[in-house]
A and B are shown apart, each in its own frame.
Chain A
Amino acid sequence: MSGSSILELDNVSKHFGGLSVVDNLSFSVPPNSCTGLIGPNGAGKTTVFNLITGVHPTDAGHIFLDGKDVSDLPSRQRIRHGIARNFQNIRLMPHLTTIENVMVGQHCRNDGLFGNLQPLNILPGNRWRKEAREALANAGLEHYEHAAVRSLPYGVQKRIELVRALVAQPRLLLLDEPAAGLNSAETGALSDLLKTRCIARGVAMLVVEHDMQFVGELCDRVIVLNFGRKIAEGTPNDVRNDAAVREAYFGSDDSGMETDHAS
């Protein structure tokens, strides 16, 4: 389809049994942009991520990455088309150290038997190890290099997951509630990290997030989902004042809730 978007969903639908989770959804993410995907709980946001990354097949419609139809591509191959993601519930490998977890993210850039059999843990000067260490340092995580990930604080684990996604060198980063559970200082650090590591480097982002302040600061455009359908699209400010959006979040009674936090 169009070659000007990094990601394009064209009339994508998904049902689980009789439940329609994503219904005729179309939107696109331009390169070098940050798009927010918001909506009440159960609106289908995470399912959209799972459809894009291939965790679930779509029932109808097409997904284009960089103009290429990936709808029928196995999930394993999609990361090679430039998408990487984090997970709403942190999913690091508990039996790997921090740096080894990061090196899992490099895997898609290194294939074949030779790449697989390169010793990463013996020579300190190994190219991949050095790169992973730098990526950790850029996120302020160098102190945790050899730590067992399960023992680390929640916020640190979230950042490690982000670094793991970034070392895949994606052109589109899918972030599922990156700020959930973080305190305001951690959220600020995350926001800065995303600005310097993604936006400044031309990595497009699609962000599911409930923290509207975070979304407003980071995203240039917001798509609002409710019951699997797109109900609004626009700048964070437009969307905040959209009647349909307010109704989806707060009900039809306009009782004048003025909070920025939509969760």
Chain B
Amino acid sequence: MSAYAEGILVLLAINIVFAYGAFLPVAAGQLNLGVAGFAAIGGYVSAFLTNNTMVPAFVAILIGGVAAGSVALIVAVPVLRTRGIYLALATFALGEIVRATILNLEIVGGAAGYPVAKFIGLPMVAAFALTVVALVSLLFATRFGIAMTAVHDDERVADLMGLNVRAYQIAAFTLGSIIAGIGGGLYAHHYNYIEAQYFNVSLSISIVLYVLFGGTQSVAGPLVGTIVFTLLPEVLRGSAEWRYVIFAAVVIVSMALRPQGLVTAAPWRRLLGLSHSDDSDGRERLA
């Protein structure tokens, strides 16, 4: 495999992990614009561990995920009291706080960035990405998955049906942050260098875009969205400076034609041979 292809596949795998980190809260009705902040926590914690201890990289990356999840769990209680645009703003601010904190942490290099000694290649990054996709798919086949969608669709009725709405929202936010933290650890150990500036809000927005573009109604949505977003600029590479213009045009046209995302629930079910109903999903998941 050429170094170029390998580079693209690694980027794709890391982006897929990030996308599922953003997908879980969105699936429970929350827009998390602080994904990059949790990715940064995972990246820095795991890098610090492999630089300073004998912990193997994959263990350090998992610990980084848990660290990101722990921070998410602590802040979830106040942050998830807000809703809609205010929740988006609160999570955005959270991501910025993480970034600003790291910029001032000399122990991990501060503004100069943080070199990471240990390297992981495509096989391990891909293994993590596949495991994340498999586990999230499995999660959505459980009662927990149904409950998250129920909470997303109608909090009041979900509550009257006995579902602990807050607990599901916190769980989705926390699990998503663990996954985002794992993504950050993968990034740190593949590129061997991280800096706070990378984990900025435009990273968060890109990740959320993968999810919204792919569709939030099925587990396949973020996967498709990420693949399109990561590979399309590469496919268009031939047209040199125009490629991002064409890319943006394709994205705008797709969003106009399929506002619920590329993958909606009904055709997905039809594909699996489960449904005989129409595709009739006018409402966007974030509405």
Taking A80-B162, A104-B158, A116-B143 as contacts, is the C-beta distance between A151 and B277 under 8 angstroms?
A: yes
Question: What A residues does B139 contact at CB under 8 A?
Answer: 117
Task: Collect the chain A residues with CB atoms within 8 Å of residue B2's CB.
Answer: none
Main SS of chain B's interface residues?
A: helix
A138 sits at the interface (CB 8 A): no
Contact flag A151-B278 (CB < 8 Å), given A119-B138, A119-B141: yes
Please indicate the chain B residues that have their CB under 8 angstroms from the CB of A87 in the complex: 157
Q: In this assembly, does B234 line the interface, its C-beta being within 8 Å of a C-beta of chain A?
A: no
Name which residue of chain A comes closest to B278, CB basis: A151
Contact A147 B143 (CB under 8 A): no
A63 within 8 A of B: no
- Find out whether the CB atom of B276 lies under 8 angstroms from the CB atom of A146: yes
Query: Whole-angstrom distance from the CB of A95 to the nearest CB of chain B?
Result: 5
Q: Which of A76, A115, A148 contacts B280 (CB 8 A)?
A: A148
Q: How distant is the Cα of A189 from the Cα of B165 in the complex, in angstroms?
A: 34
A93 proximal to B (CB < 8 A): yes
A122 at the interface (CB under 8 A from B): yes
Among A98-133, those with CB < 8 Å from B are 100, 103-105, 107-108, 110, 115-122, 128
With the chains together, A104 CA to B157 CA distance in Å? 10
Q: Are A94 and B275 in contact (CB under 8 A)?
A: no
Most interface-central of B146, B154, B162 (chain A CB within 10 A): B162
Closest to A144 in B: B277
B141 touches A121 (CB 8 A): yes
Which of chain B's residues 243-287 have a Cβ closer than 8 Å to chain A? 265-266, 269, 274-278, 280-281, 283, 285
**A contact residues around B127 at 8 Å (CB):** none
- When the two chains form their complex, are residues A104 and B277 in contact, meaning their CB atoms are under 8 A apart? no
| Contact assessment for B265 and A148 in the assembled complex, using a CB-CB cutoff below 8 Å | yes
Chain B's nearest CB lies how many Å from the CB of A148? 5
- Inter-chain CA distance A115–B146, complex, in Å, is 12
Interface bracket on B: 35 or more
CB of A104 within 8 A of CB of B265, answer no
Residue-wise interface mask of B (113-148) relative to A, using a CB-CB cutoff of 8 A (1 in contact, 0 not): 000000000000000000000000011111111110
Minimal Cβ-Cβ distance residue in B for A54: B160
B37 nearest CB across to chain A (Å): 27
User: Considering only CB atoms, which chain A residue lies closest to B143 in the complex?
Assistant: A116
Select the residue from B141, B146, B152, B276 with max chain A CB neighbours within 10 A: B146
A54 to B265, CA, bound (A): 33
Residues of A within 8 A of B285 (CB): 95
Residues of chain B within 8 A (CB-CB) of A148 are 265-266, 269, 275, 277-278, 280-281
A79 contacts partner chain B, Cβ-Cβ < 8 Å: yes
Contact check: which of B140, B143, B156 meets A107 at CB < 8 Å? B143
Determine the chain A residues whose CB is within 8 A of the CB of B275 once the complex forms. 97, 146-148
Output the least CB separation between A48 and chain B (Å). Answer: 15
- Given the complex of chains A and B, what is the CA–CA distance between A150 and B274 in angstroms? 16
Asked if residues A96 and B143 are in contact (CB atoms below 8 Å), the reply is no
B142 touches A118 (CB 8 A): yes
**Which residues of A159-200 are within 8 A (CB) of B?**
164, 168
Which 7 pairs show the lowest CB-CB distances between chains A and B? A108-B162, A93-B153, A121-B141, A147-B277, A151-B280, A79-B162, A116-B144
Task: Give 7 A-B pairs besides A96-B153, A107-B147, A119-B141 with Cβ atoms closer than 8 angstroms.
Answer: A75-B159, A93-B153, A95-B153, A95-B265, A147-B277, A152-B277, A168-B162
B residues engaging A (CB < 8 A)? 138-147, 149-150, 152-154, 156-165, 217, 265-266, 269, 274-278, 280-281, 283, 285
Listed A/B pairs (30) with beta-carbon separation below 8 Å: A55-B160, A76-B162, A78-B160, A79-B160, A79-B162, A93-B150, A95-B281, A97-B269, A97-B274, A100-B146, A103-B146, A104-B150, A104-B161, A105-B161, A107-B147, A107-B162, A110-B143, A117-B139, A119-B138, A120-B143, A121-B142, A122-B138, A146-B274, A147-B276, A148-B266, A150-B280, A151-B277, A152-B277, A168-B161, A168-B162
